[in-house]
Structure 1
Amino acid sequence: MIKVTAIETGKARMKTAQRSGRDGRGGIGRKIDIFRDPDWVEPLPILCFLIEHPEGRFLVDTGDTWRNSVPGYLPGWNPFYKQVQIRVAPHEEAGSRLLALGIDPATDIGTVILTHFHHDHTGGLDHFPRSRIVGPRANYAVSTGLRGMMTGCLPQRWPVWLKPDLVEMDGPAIGPFPASHRITSDGRILLVPTPGHVDGHVSVIVRGEGITWFLAGDATYSQANLLAEKTDGVTNDPATALATLQAIRRFATQEPTILLPAHDPEGPARLAAGTVLI
């Protein structure tokens, strides 16, 4: 039996222009819109997802950390970080949440899967020093060094022990997705490419009995945005981001699918109710 559990690791606020980019605007124009936007969306959850599978426990993304509140943790020279507000209490980090479920993050999580390396997905890595850390090679390539620090990653804050198992999309096509990467030997947990939010972004497909969970990371910020084909303001390639939204929706027409983005406040309720994307 396979089980998926949503775990909230605090809240994030973003500009309205980040959640939904303006139609007709390219990558640079969307960034300008975010800086000019005076309006903020409501606080959104920072979600990661626990998968319990016969081959072990897997965690998709690690959420963020309370250290965002420490002066200097976020680089002050990068104005991007002033366009997002992160609020995480120490007990809201992924490790504390797992301990509350009776799971020791240091010993009981076999594999952590990162959809991408943005700071609100890697902020909880410190809790998993003995886990296999899997991430997309294509996204890692744009997440390190100065380039990564300029585009929402904090490689200088990653654990010193981090040596992720970087994977390629080297498996067969899955529905509308041109390639995949198998995580479990039974093929019930696998990665598919969902670029757009950032280069090399992946999503995680989990196939249970009669239901599929699609852990979308930031491929879309919400199911409502996906259905409206609204791409975000972060993307440098709106056409690719739109193609990803359309591919996810086509996938969901082929098998009953519960969509679970990382910042959708309605996602946990859909998960609990078994509400599929139509």
Structure 2
Amino acid sequence: MIRVTAIETGKARMKSAQKTGRDGRGALGRKIDIFRDRSWVEPLPILSFLIEHPEGRFLVDTGDTWRNSVPGYLPRWNPFFTKEVSIRVAPLEEIGPRLQAMNIDPARDIAAVILTHCHHDHTGGLDHFPHTRIIAPRENYEDSRGLKGMMMGCLPQRWPIWFKPELVDLDGPPIGPFAESHAITKDRRILLVPTPGHAKGHVSVIVRGEDVTYFLAGDATYTEENLRAEKADGVTNDPALSVATLKAIKRFASSEPTIVLPAHDPEGPARLATRRVFAAEAA
């Protein structure tokens, strides 16, 4: 039996121009639009997803940390961190306490943590998993290190000193419209597929349940609404690639009963609870 549970780890506020980039704007233009935009969207959840599988419990992304609010935690030289996004996480909202409230010891009871990408609101909870196998896409991890990573929304200087993830390449066979994949479990019911655009080397996690498939999209799209409209976000450095990824996700989710679960979609937990699949919502 496979089960997927959404776990909220605080809230994120962003500009409207970040959530939905303007059509016809390139990568640089979208960044300018974010800084010029005075419109903020309502706070969005920061979601991690717990997968219960016969081979163990797997966690997709770790959310952010309350330390995000501590002066000096975010680099002042990058105004995007300090002025264009607002992260609010209470200490008990971090992924560790959330799991403990479910009677799960984050340090011992998780078979592996899977990172869709290394942006700070997906890696902020890494400190809770010092004894856990951590899996990251090689291409994204390499792109997230050093000054380049800090420019692109990552905080590698805040990663735990012991953080040395198991880096994986997408070296497996095609899955539907995705040209390659990587199996996490021996039964191939948990798989990684490439969904680049929001970040270089970004991956999503496919979980094949008994009668429905879960598509854990990370930040490939912020919401299912944007996915349906094929609207790329304002963060992408390659809008055309982002749109191609959205089209691939739509083709996959239309080909079999699939619940699409982005990491910041406020409607995602309700879709999961009621098992509303993508094709049914289109109808």
TM-score range for the pair, normalised by the shorter chain length: over 0.9
Q: Write out aligned runs for 1:42-191 (5 A).
A: 42-81=42-81, 82-191=83-192
Report percent identity of matched pairs: 76
State the AA in 1 paired with 2:125: G
Supply the distance in 2 between the matched residues of 1:272 and 1:248 (Cα, whole angstroms).
Answer: 21
C-alpha deviation, 1:238, in angstroms:
0.4
C-alpha deviation, 1:32, in angstroms:
0.3
In the TM superposition, what whole-angstrom CA distance separates every residue of 1:176-233 from its partner, at most 9, and x where no partner exists?
Answer: 0000000000000000000000110000000001100000000000000000111000
In the TM superposition, what whole-angstrom CA distance separates every residue of 1:133-191 from its partner, at most 9, and x where no partner exists?
Answer: 00100101110000001110000000010000010000000000000000000000000
C-alpha deviation, 1:254, in angstroms:
1.4
Supply the distance in 2 between the matched residues of 1:152 and 1:196 (Cα, whole angstroms).
Answer: 14
In the TM superposition, what whole-angstrom CA distance separates every residue of 1:216-270 from its partner, at most 9, and x where no partner exists?
Answer: 0000000000001110000010000000000000001211000000000000000
Matched residue, 1:271: 272
Q: Write out aligned runs for 1:24-39 (5 A).
A: 24-39=24-39
Supply the distance in 1 between the matched residues of 2:221 and 2:42 (Cα, whole angstroms).
Answer: 16
C-alpha deviation, 1:92, in angstroms:
0.1
Gaps of 5+ in 1: none
Gaps of 5+ in 2: none
In the TM superposition, what whole-angstrom CA distance separates every residue of 1:97-123 from its partner, at most 9, and x where no partner exists?
Answer: 000000000100110000000000000
State the AA in 2 paired with 1:80: F
State the AA in 2 paired with 1:64: D
Total equivalences in the alignment: 278
Supply the distance in 2 between the matched residues of 1:18 and 1:253 (Cα, whole angstroms).
Answer: 27
Supply the distance in 2 between the matched residues of 1:49 and 1:57 (Cα, whole angstroms).
Answer: 10
Q: CA RMSD in A?
A: 0.4
Secondary structure (helix, strand or coil) at the match of 2:278 reads coil
Supply the distance in 2 between the matched residues of 1:228 and 1:254 (Cα, whole angstroms).
Answer: 18
State the AA in 1 paired with 2:129: F
4+ runs deviating over 4 angstroms: none
Is 1:41 matched with 2:31? no
Supply the distance in 2 between the matched residues of 1:73 and 1:13 (Cα, whole angstroms).
Answer: 18
